[in-house]
């Protein structure tokens, strides 16, 4: 199991290795939980869902690791945005799994809690890297945060 001794490491000290990064730790734990649960999907009726879920679950910590390894804030941000997108894909597939009865309510709730926690962590790291808020400070209002691709604003007259 990954050590919890590095809590808030990414905000206090330079991170020397990816395993020191708490958001990566949580993504890794989520991937392991998803992979363990994906094994329960019957291969003959799972529509390839098990393999798809494993791939997307593993891509989340992988995107974070790749972005972090590039050693620039812009590349780390890109990796975090990709991880956030993969998290959304995973949530969709997990919802389908639950709907088809391939996961128990308890498993669905546990993984859902991990998904929400990881999404919040990714959003906080993105905000901090973009300089939107100070570490530990209040979150900004969503309308003040332009996305990775700024869309033209619509004026309401």
CA-based max dimension of the chain: 55
- Asked if residue 48 is part of any domain, the answer here is yes
> What mean pLDDT comes out for the span 105-112?
90
Determine, yes or no, domain membership for 150: no
CATH of the domain at 74: 1.20.1440.60
Question: How does pLDDT run across 28-87, given as a tens digit for each residue?
Answer: 999 999 999 888 888 777 578 889 999 999 999 999 999 999 878 999 999 999 999 999
Question: Residue 148, SS3?
Answer: coil
Instruction: Tell me how far apart the alpha carbons of residues 104 and 37 are, in angstroms, rounded to a whole number.
Output: 10
**pLDDT reading at 98 higher than 70:** yes
Residue 118: how many other CB atoms lie within 10 Å: 23
Q: Give the containing element (helix H, strand E) for 73.
A: helix 73-99
Express each pLDDT in 121-154 by its tens digit.
999 999 988 887 555 555 544 333 334 444 344 4
For residue 42, what are the domain limits? 15-137
In a domain, 80, yes or no: yes
* 141: region left, alpha or beta (phi > 0 left; psi from -120 to 50 alpha): beta
Distance of CA 50 to the CA centre of its chain: 19
In a domain, 61, yes or no: yes
Asked, for residue 156, whether it belongs to a domain, the answer is no
Q: What is the pLDDT of residue 134?
A: 52
How many folded domains does the chain comprise?
Answer: 1
144 in any annotated domain:
no
Which pLDDT value is given to residue 16?
Answer: 59
What is the rounded CA–CA span in Å between residue 135 and residue 75?
Answer: 20
Element counts in the chain: helices (H) and strands (E): 5, 0
Is residue 142 domain-resident? Answer: no
Residue 10: pLDDT band with limits 50, 70, 90: very low
| 35 in a structural domain | yes
**Are the C-beta atoms of residues 130 and 112 closer than 8 Å to each other?**
no
């Amino acid at each position: 199991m990954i050590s919890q001794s590095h809590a808030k490491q990414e905000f206090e000290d330079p991170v020397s290795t990816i395993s020191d990064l708490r958001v990566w730790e949580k993504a890794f734990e989520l991937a392991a939980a998803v992979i363990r649960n994906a094994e329960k999907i019957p291969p003959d009726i799972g529509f390839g869902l098990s393999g798809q879920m494993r791939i997307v679950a593993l891509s989340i910590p992988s995107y974070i690791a790749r972005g972090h390894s590039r050693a620039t804030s812009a590349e780390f941000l890109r990796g975090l945005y990709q991880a956030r997108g993969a998290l959304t894909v995973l949530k969709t597939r997990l919802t389908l799994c639950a709907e088809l009865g391939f996961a128990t309510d308890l498993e669905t709730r546990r993984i859902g809690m991990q998904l929400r926690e990881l999404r919040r962590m990714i959003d906080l790291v993105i905000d901090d890297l973009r300089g939107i808020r100070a570490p530990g400070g209040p979150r900004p209002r969503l309308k003040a945060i332009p996305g990775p691709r700024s869309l033209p604003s619509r004026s309401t007259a």
